[in-house]
Structure 1
Amino acid sequence: MSTVALPARRAPDTQAVVLMVALCAIWGFQQVAIKSANASVPPVLQAGVRSAIAALLVWGWTRARGVPLFRADGTLAAGLLAGGLFAAEFVCIFVGLTMTSATRMAVFLYTAPCFTALGLHWFAPGERMRRTQWLGISVAFAGMALAFADGFSHRGPAADTHAMLVGLAGDALGVLGGVAWAATTVVVRSSTLAHVSASKALFYQLAVSAVVLLALAAGIGQIGQLELRAITPLAVMSLGYQAVVVAFVSYLTWFWLLTRYMASRLSVFSFLTPLFGVTFGVLLLGESFSSRFLAAALLVLAGIALVNAPAKRRV
């Protein structure tokens, strides 16, 4: 297999910082876009269409640049696994957002960096965790436990038990989405996919997930539930945002940054994404949260920051 020499990765400069903040805002807004479209497009079908559109865009992009996607290189098995996990992640996100708020989903989903660190510790050579990272995971998990406790109590003693359980199920799907996201990252980092172009790794995830999600949507009757007359302009714009801006432009930009800047320094910005997600949920959807959930979110953010903190250099 031929390899391409990449420039030495460096610390983020002003351009990288601006791009990373923009990416975190884009990813944080994603939950709002999904929830806005869920009212007129069934969630699993919506996720499948999103992946299909983005996969076609990546295919066109790679074709225009002469990057081969279908050359046999021994990555098929890993690509199918990564695509399946990617599909599972978005089933959890899209279905979960029909049960819980975008604000809560943003916090639970973005525990993913902590699960990623655990997965790489176990499955990727040279990715052993430091004491600071173990502390970060403990802090984040404490925040997650506090957030679940808030889900049991924030509606008060007279709460509708069914509504409370539905909300907690949505929260749990957010965590499972984070686990699936982390598992996808571990597969990409520790398998043959680590040696292919970023475009091909992304195409595997989008194309396989499109097939899986559309087949699942058909199997559970969501395609038949779709009413074209009920699709609002907001739903169309939300779906376009997810497919073009998030799944195509932002993911390719992220992979481009990884080829030029140190991944450990870029990952520090990940704590901004749930912060943006909570802010957009409150401002645009009118969602609210309790002081206990705010404390839980701050613990999760602190844990993410500790997990991504750079190692101290020994003198």
Structure 2
Amino acid sequence: MAQQRGVNGETQSLDRFGVATIVSLSVVWGFNPIILKAALAELGPFALSGARCAIGCLCIVIYATVTKRAIFHIDGTEAIGALLGLLYFAQFAALFEAVRWTTLSHSIVFLYVGPLLVALGTTFLLKNERLRPLQWIGLGLAFFGVASEFIGRWGVAHPAGDAMALLAALLWTTSTLLIKGTKLARIEPTKTLLYQIGVASIICPVAMWALGERAPQNLSLSAYAALIWQGAVIVGVTYALWIWLLGRYPAAQLSAFGFVTPLVGVAAAAVVLGETPSDGLAMAAALVMAGLILVGWPPRRAASPAAPRDPG
């Protein structure tokens, strides 16, 4: 597979700017379920997904037109782009079904197997981005931190729902590696995003009709505000930044910071919704933080050869 390039043609090591950006995205995504919950009170899941993707498409088209980005010409990436859009739709469809058939704790734990799968995929497909043993330890530690927060609410196993959450993780992994390791690596990031959300915005209304989902009617002002947030900010801005980051930094390291998102979600629910977090939230956060430090730990530099002594 083609290796995605960053500055000067090489994928960069994760630096302070990259860490600050991906942490910021993870925090925004952690708060997002609260807004999603408000929107889902008035819209079905496919109506919401289709609407936010359509709004995101409009934002991308306006941005590309104003900034004269080359995203509308034929360049041979159309088939891969369509596949990316199908994967994106399938990922969220699987996640919706997982939440319907199993508990939220099960869904989160199985979904966040995704960063582990991304790291495994880069081992075979993006050899320049293989994690070192210390980074694998950090990745496992961060996953354990997330799992420890939700394992206390594990409840009864629901194999079908658990399998759908794991499928969503696999689709997330496939999408990430597809963006990172194909011709999509060499095109404008906003065009990649347009492929992803454009296909989904077309399929979602079909899914609504096929599954008998109720069409949204008489939406409240808060529902419209949630839709605009979802489409313009979450899809139009944060997803574009995620694809941009994938063009510059190692996929496995970036994906590891996704472990921040569910813990932020728990904290946000406690602050905004008054939900009671578990007693182990601080420990889980500490484990995730320690794991991410190890994931981002720089490689040991080779010792410089000693300068030859002056024979005189």
TM category (shorter chain) comes to: 0.7 to 0.9
Match 2:28 to one of 2, 23, 26: 26
Separation in structure 1 between the aligned mates of residue 279 and residue 133 of structure 2, nearest angstrom: 30
Match 1:121 to one of 123, 144, 155: 123
- Contact 2:263–2:281 (8 Å) recurs in 1: no
Q: Render the CA deviation track for 1:8-40: whole Å, top value 9, x for unaligned.
A: 969756x76665544332211122221221121
Q: Cα gap change, 1:134/1:253 in structure 2, threshold over 3 Å: closer, same or farther?
A: closer
Match 2:274 to one of 280, 283, 286: 286
Match 2:231 to one of 239, 243, 267: 243
Q: Displacement, 1:211?
A: 1.7
Kindly report which structure 2 residues correspond to 1:85-104, keeping only aligned pairs within 5 A, or say none: 85-97=87-99
Q: 5+ unaligned residues in a row in structure 2: which ranges?
A: 304-312
Aligned to 2:217: 228
**What's the % identity of the aligned pairs?**
31
The alignment's TM-score, normalised by the length of structure 1, stands at 0.75
Q: Cα gap change, 1:291/1:151 in structure 2, threshold over 3 Å: closer, same or farther?
A: same
Of 130-139 and 236-245, more deviation after overlay is shown by: 130-139
Q: Displacement, 1:59?
A: 1.6
Aligned to 2:308: none
Q: Render the CA deviation track for 1:185-240: whole Å, top value 9, x for unaligned.
A: 10011111011111111111110121222221221111xx13413x3332222221
Q: Cα gap change, 1:181/1:226 in structure 2, threshold over 3 Å: closer, same or farther?
A: same
- Contact 2:81–2:192 (8 Å) recurs in 1: yes
Q: Displacement, 1:49?
A: 1.2
Match 2:186 to one of 176, 191, 195: 195
Q: Cα gap change, 1:221/1:19 in structure 2, threshold over 3 Å: closer, same or farther?
A: same
Separation in structure 1 between the aligned mates of residue 101 and residue 230 of structure 2, nearest angstrom: 20
Aligned residues: CA RMSD:
3.8
1:276 pairs with 2:276 = no
Match 1:207 to one of 195, 198, 205: 198
Aligned to 1:160: none
Separation in structure 1 between the aligned mates of residue 144 and residue 19 of structure 2, nearest angstrom: 29
Separation in structure 2 between the aligned mates of residue 169 and residue 148 of structure 1, nearest angstrom: 19
SS in 1 for 2:71: coil
Q: Displacement, 1:242?
A: 1.0
Q: How many residues align?
A: 296
Kindly report which structure 2 residues correspond to 1:10-89, keeping only aligned pairs within 5 A, or say none: 12=15, 19-89=21-91
Q: Render the CA deviation track for 1:163-196: whole Å, top value 9, x for unaligned.
A: x567x86666554433322221100111110111
- Contact 2:56–2:231 (8 Å) recurs in 1: yes
Separation in structure 1 between the aligned mates of residue 102 and residue 269 of structure 2, nearest angstrom: 11
Separation in structure 2 between the aligned mates of residue 286 and residue 95 of structure 1, nearest angstrom: 27
Q: Cα gap change, 1:23/1:111 in structure 2, threshold over 3 Å: closer, same or farther?
A: same
Separation in structure 1 between the aligned mates of residue 99 and residue 116 of structure 2, nearest angstrom: 22
Q: Displacement, 1:293?
A: 7.6
Separation in structure 1 between the aligned mates of residue 296 and residue 95 of structure 2, nearest angstrom: 23
Aligned to 1:252: 240
Aligned to 1:180: 171
Separation in structure 2 between the aligned mates of residue 143 and residue 269 of structure 1, nearest angstrom: 12
SS in 2 for 1:228: coil
What is the one-letter code of the residue matched to 1:232?
Answer: S
Larger gyration radius, structure 1 or structure 2: 2
Q: Render the CA deviation track for 1:265-288: whole Å, top value 9, x for unaligned.
A: 983754433332221122223334
Q: 5+ unaligned residues in a row in structure 1: which ranges?
A: 154-163
Q: Render the CA deviation track for 1:25-73: whole Å, top value 9, x for unaligned.
A: 2211122221221121001221111111101211221122222323222
The alignment's TM-score, normalised by the length of structure 2, stands at 0.76
Separation in structure 1 between the aligned mates of residue 6 and residue 274 of structure 2, nearest angstrom: 49
Of 76-85 and 192-201, more deviation after overlay is shown by: 76-85
